[in-house]
Amino acid sequence: MRIFVDMDEVIADTYQEHINIYNKEFNANFTKVEAENKCSDFWKCVPPEHQQNVKDHARQVGFFRNLAVIPHSQEVLKELYHKHEVYIASAAMQFPNSLKEKSDWLDEHFPFIKWQHRILCGDKHMLKGDVLIDDRAYNLERFEGRAILFTSPHNIGEERFERVSSWLQIAEMLV
Amino acid sequence: MRIFVDMDEVIADTYQEHINIYNKEFNANFTKVEAENKCSDFWKCVPPEHQQNVKDHARQVGFFRNLAVIPHSQEVLKELYHKHEVYIASAAMQFPNSLKEKSDWLDEHFPFIKWQHRILCGDKHMLKGDVLIDDRAYNLERFEGRAILFTSPHNIGEERFERVSSWLQIAEMLV
């Protein structure tokens, strides 16, 4: 079985990093739970005059290098990797500074995923495989195989896909 | 029609860059024509004690940023891009320093190729499409669609694939 796994919001906690940077910059105290209830993408949580600022976080040098790991993704992905043909597939090409940072981040937190099994791309619908685990509906919509939506604050209302909310659930389904 | 196009040795002249760096470093005067006749991969052209040095070129900062453009690739690829669904697909993940350099190089020489249509990967057999243009037999071997070998000094003896030796030939076949 060939499985594609997205990075941001699936194994790397970009959402929390947006909150951390915003809180520091504007001396605010947002939490993820509050953001989940109040808005979808985090930039929608903040005053209009700060929204572009949040959108620009992803262009900052270092943003993608210091992300926290989503709980249990390391051990579950390691098991999957040894049982199936697993690829990381991240739509990173929009942010050229992110490319090496993502590679370095994977080296640190997922060293068992060889370079042959890492894909930094834009579109994902040209990927041929059995499963795609992603937080973005627009990636899942055009994927031919089993499309699994990983819960993130920005996709709470999405009902078209099989949904998982943790890596422990993925372990039950796929390992 | 969905077409994947490799970078090194297809639109970017890595082979010539290896020769340039080697000639400068060792005060030599290799030419591409000489290399074509004498050896396949360029590292096989040089004395055994210099071979690792040539293999390490690709890890040097800047190596992938300054490559010459393969003749006619810009105008032909532009025509293809507007008629078909074209993606750049480069096995770049082995060299993390190359990632941003490749993105910047594409911005400079192929600005019409949007980030959504750029793929930096390892394996290529998970790409689903109609055509792959590549200089490496191991990428073409496992591709499901039409596999087109772009001539490079290192693949002269390869006879398993449809071969092209210039972008003008590709224009005749695909535009």
The tokens for B173 are 């076949």
From A8, A13, A134, A135, active-site residue: A8
For residue A147, the SS3 value is: strand
For residue B69, the SS3 value is: strand
- Condensed to tens digits (0 to 9), the pLDDT of residues B119-146 reads 999 999 999 999 999 999 999 999 999 9
- From the list B93, B119, B123, the residue facing A103 with the nearest CB is B93
Q: Return the H-helix or E-strand segment holding A38.
A: helix A32-38
- Condensed to tens digits (0 to 9), the pLDDT of residues B51-88 reads 999 999 999 999 999 999 999 999 999 999 999 999 99
> Given B59, B76, B92, which residue is the final one in a domain?
B59
Are A98 and A121 found together in one domain?
yes
Are A116 and A49 found together in one domain?
no
What ipTM does the predicted assembly reach? 0.94
- Condensed to tens digits (0 to 9), the pLDDT of residues A29-39 reads 999 888 877 88
Instruction: Determine the structural domain holding residue A52 and report its residue range.
Output: 14-59
> What chain A residue is nearest to B98 in terms of C-alpha separation?
A100
Are A73 and A159 found together in one domain?
yes
Is there a contact between A115 and B127 if contact means CB atoms under 8 Å apart? no
| Residue of B115, B124, B131, B138 to mutate when probing chain A, most A C-beta within 10 A | B115
Neighbours of B9 (CB within 10 A): 21
| pLDDT at residue B49 greater than cutoff 90 | yes
Contacts of B96 by beta carbon, 8 Å cutoff, 6+ apart: A99, A100, A103, A104
Are B99 and B159 found together in one domain?
yes
Positive or negative: CA dihedral B37, B43, B49, B54: positive
Report chain B's C-alpha Rg in angstroms.
Answer: 16
> Given B25, B41, B59, which residue is the final one in a domain?
B59
Please give the Cα distance from B28 to B87 (Å, whole number). Answer: 37
Number of compact structural domains in chain A: 2
Are B31 and B105 found together in one domain?
no
Is there a contact between A117 and B96 if contact means CB atoms under 8 Å apart? no
Please give the Cα distance from B80 to B58 (Å, whole number). Answer: 29
Are A96 and A49 found together in one domain?
no
| pLDDT at residue A25 greater than cutoff 90 | yes
Is there a contact between A118 and B122 if contact means CB atoms under 8 Å apart? yes
Rounded to a whole number of angstroms, the distance from the CA of A2 to the nearest CA of chain B is 9
User: What average pLDDT score do residues A118-137 get?
Assistant: 97
Please give the Cα distance from A162 to A59 (Å, whole number). Answer: 31
Q: Which residues of B16-35 are buried (b: 16+ CB within 10 A; e: fewer)?
A: bbbbbbbeeeeeeebeeeeb
Neighbours of B116 (CB within 10 A): 14
The tokens for A153 are 């604050």
pTM summary value: 0.95
* β-sheet bridge partners, residue B118: B88
Is there a contact between B121 and A118 if contact means CB atoms under 8 Å apart? yes
B126 contacts in A (CB within 8 Å)?
2, 4, 87, 119, 127-129
- Of B139, B55, B65, B122, residue with least CA distance to B97: B65
Q: CATH number of the domain that B157 lies in? A: 3.40.50.1000
